[in-house]
Chains A and B, each alone.
Chain A
Amino acid sequence: MVKASGWRAAVVTFPGSNCDRDMAVALERASGTPALRVWHGDSDLPERLDFIALPGGFSYGDYLRSGAMAANSPIMRAVKREAERGVPVLGVCNGFQVIAEAGLLPGALMRNAGQTFICRDAELTVENTQSLFTRGYDEGASIRIPVAHHDGNYFADAETLDRLEDEGRVAFRYRENYNGSQRAIAGILNERGNVLGMMPHPERAVDPAHGGTDGLILFESAIAALAEA
């Protein structure tokens, strides 16, 4: 645990989110401080947040496209505003789909190329160790984080992909490309580096009983980054 007195993190719950509690537990495990919980229909976030997490699940039953409905829910206007102010925002799985649909990150998450739901541990390479989310990892480290998704096939046009690569905004890559993602991308950062979207679930790897704690490092990194800021 990183000492984080007064660290204020919030988890947004959409109708159909199902990893929100896991996310709150992981944030508390990393910081020692309970996470605040926010409902999608709220128009405002709690004040002075240090971290906002959009959890996995099936918001709005994945109607229309995964994440599309949630991206237009009232709370997302506040999330966008805070992201633009530089507050760290983490979107995991459905949360990644939501922030991509909301335009906070480029590209889209499509149906897995093999058409099947994939639920397994994924080996990832940490590609960027400079970001506030990933600075606790060793350069080029191989980590193990669970994935569980049907729509994790990352797509962006070649120009966008080149820009992401050139700017060091690919945070994580699959060592084996399970879902057909362009360039095996598992997680990307925004230009400023304060928004991370990733399909793998770091909150499911924060306790030795989970089979590993590689995910905990991500949350601890964000807390440590704030403490130094």
Chain B
Amino acid sequence: MKVRILVSLKPGVLDPQGRAVHHALEGMGFEGVDDVRIGRTVELDVADSTSDEALEKMCEQLLANTVIENYRIERLG
């Protein structure tokens, strides 16, 4: 089973990378971009029996740093 983990910076945590990209988009002439936040996608191929709890543990203990990041788990089937 494929699982996609989306890791993003928490609201309020400064994202210098996102800010630089935002600035670049504006410089390229794209209008109406209010904000840019950059995150990370982790794709896992796991046994079908893998529990939600196990996936959450993976996120909490390694894939995300919950001091600064949120994560979302999507089972892709």
Q: Using CB atoms and an 8 Å cutoff, list the residues of chain A in contact with chain B.
A: 64-65, 68-69, 72, 101, 106-108, 110-115, 153, 155-156, 180
Q: Which residues of A contact B62 (CB under 8 A)?
A: 64, 68-69, 72
Nearest 3 CB-CB pairs, A to B? A108-B67, A108-B68, A113-B16
Q: Measured between alpha carbons, how far is A110 from B61 in the docked complex, in Å?
A: 18
Q: Which residues of A contact B65 (CB under 8 A)?
A: 65, 68, 101, 108
Q: Using CB atoms and an 8 Å cutoff, list the residues of chain B in contact with chain A.
A: 13-14, 16-17, 20, 61-63, 65, 67-68
Q: Measured between alpha carbons, how far is A112 from B65 in the docked complex, in Å?
A: 17
Interface pair A155/B61, CB less than 8 Å apart: no
Of chain A, the residue at the smallest CB distance from B63 is A64
If A110-B14, A110-B16, A114-B16 are given as contacts, then 11 extra A-B residue pairs at C-beta distance below 8 Å, sorted by A number, are A64-B62, A64-B63, A65-B65, A72-B62, A106-B67, A110-B68, A111-B16, A153-B16, A155-B68, A156-B67, A180-B16
Interface pair B63/A115, CB less than 8 Å apart: no
Q: Measured between alpha carbons, how far is A44 from B61 in the docked complex, in Å?
A: 21
Q: Measured between alpha carbons, how far is A110 from B62 in the docked complex, in Å?
A: 16
Q: Which residues of A contact B68 (CB under 8 A)?
A: 108, 110, 155
Q: Which residues of A contact B14 (CB under 8 A)?
A: 110, 113, 155, 180
Q: Measured between alpha carbons, how far is A97 from B68 in the docked complex, in Å?
A: 13
Q: Measured between alpha carbons, how far is A111 from B17 in the docked complex, in Å?
A: 8
Can you name 26 A-B pairs with beta carbons within 8 Å? A64-B62, A65-B65, A68-B62, A68-B65, A69-B62, A72-B61, A101-B65, A106-B67, A107-B67, A108-B65, A108-B67, A108-B68, A110-B13, A110-B14, A110-B16, A111-B16, A113-B14, A114-B16, A115-B17, A115-B20, A153-B16, A155-B14, A155-B67, A156-B67, A180-B14, A180-B16
The listed residue (B13, B16, B61, B67) touching A115 by CB distance below 8 A is: B16
- Min Cβ gap A82→B in Å is 21
Q: Which residues of B contact A110 (CB under 8 A)?
A: 13-14, 16, 68
Q: Which residues of B contact A113 (CB under 8 A)?
A: 14, 16
- Min Cβ gap A149→B in Å is 14
Considering residues B13, B17, B62, B65, which has the most beta carbons from chain A within 10 angstroms of its beta carbon? B65
- Min Cβ gap A16→B in Å is 17
Q: Measured between alpha carbons, how far is A113 from B67 in the docked complex, in Å?
A: 17
Considering residues B20, B62, B63, which has the most beta carbons from chain A within 10 angstroms of its beta carbon? B62
- Min Cβ gap A177→B in Å is 13
- Min Cβ gap A64→B in Å is 7
Q: Measured between alpha carbons, how far is A196 from B63 in the docked complex, in Å?
A: 25
Q: Measured between alpha carbons, how far is A155 from B20 in the docked complex, in Å?
A: 19
Q: Measured between alpha carbons, how far is A114 from B17 in the docked complex, in Å?
A: 9
Q: Measured between alpha carbons, how far is A114 from B16 in the docked complex, in Å?
A: 7
Q: Measured between alpha carbons, how far is A110 from B17 in the docked complex, in Å?
A: 11
Q: Measured between alpha carbons, how far is A156 from B16 in the docked complex, in Å?
A: 16
